Amino acid sequence: MTTQIYKLKIIIIGEYAAGKTSLIKNFVEGAYTKDYRPTIGSNLFIKKLAFKDKIDNEYFFTITVWDIAGQEKWTSLRQTYYRGAQGVFVVGDLTRKNSFEQIENFWIKDFKEFGGTCAKSAPIILLANKNDLTPEIKEEQIRGIAERNGVFKVIYTSAKTGYHVNEAFIAMIRSCSGLEDITPISI
């Protein structure tokens, strides 16, 4: 049995009020708050997780999640936060079709242009958030955006109910580490 230690920098980007901070808080703290407060610049969240593989090797991860503001006025700072990202969540709000149009027209292009060397290798997972509400966009449209923009995976989530939040982060950890057969010991 061996033990390996990893540190991962994951960024979360997308339009304002898409639920980025709520998704992270649900994952890190298991909490959801109803009040919306825009992120100023960025927020940093850290969570430690343990995994095992089939032969009981242990893998310890320290995940640093950078919650990057979606408002236009933070554009100049955003590019600094991209550097060194090993994984990217791009979040769309299912109740606002425009948030998905912006994923295609701005967010993924911005990361690929200003993300440096990590932009070529970091997996991008699209989170279709607010799955607990009535969607304004069709699943085929979301799949099309993902296919056209080199998105690794699409996961439907709800920060409010916790639907697929842990699964999204586990998928990202597996993708970033290349350890597809690991199972969480602690979340």
Whether domain 3-186 has CATH 3.40.50.300: the reply is yes
pLDDT of 160 strictly over 70: yes
Phi-psi group of 86: left, alpha or beta (phi > 0 → left; psi -120 to 50 → alpha; rest → beta): alpha
pLDDT of 88 strictly over 80: yes
For the chain, give the percent of residues with pLDDT over 90: 73
Burial class of residue 180 (count of CB atoms within 10 Å of its CB; 0-12, 13-18, 19+): exposed
pLDDT at site 68: 79
Higher pLDDT, 60 or 43: 60
Least-confidence region, from 3-7, 33-37, 105-109, 166-170: 33-37
CA separation for the pair 44, 183 (Å, rounded): 25
CA separation for the pair 23, 39 (Å, rounded): 13
Helix (H, G, I), strand (E, B) or coil at 185: strand
pLDDT at site 106: 92
pLDDT of 64 strictly over 90: yes
Closest CA to 57 of 171, 185, 186, 187: 185
Helix (H, G, I), strand (E, B) or coil at 141: helix
Contact 6, 178 (CB under 8 A): no
Q: How confident is the model at residue 14 (pLDDT cuts 50, 70, 90)?
A: very high
What are the tokens at 148?
A: 């056209």
Higher pLDDT, 40 or 91: 91
The domain ranges of the chain are: 3-186
Tell me the average pLDDT across 5-23: 93
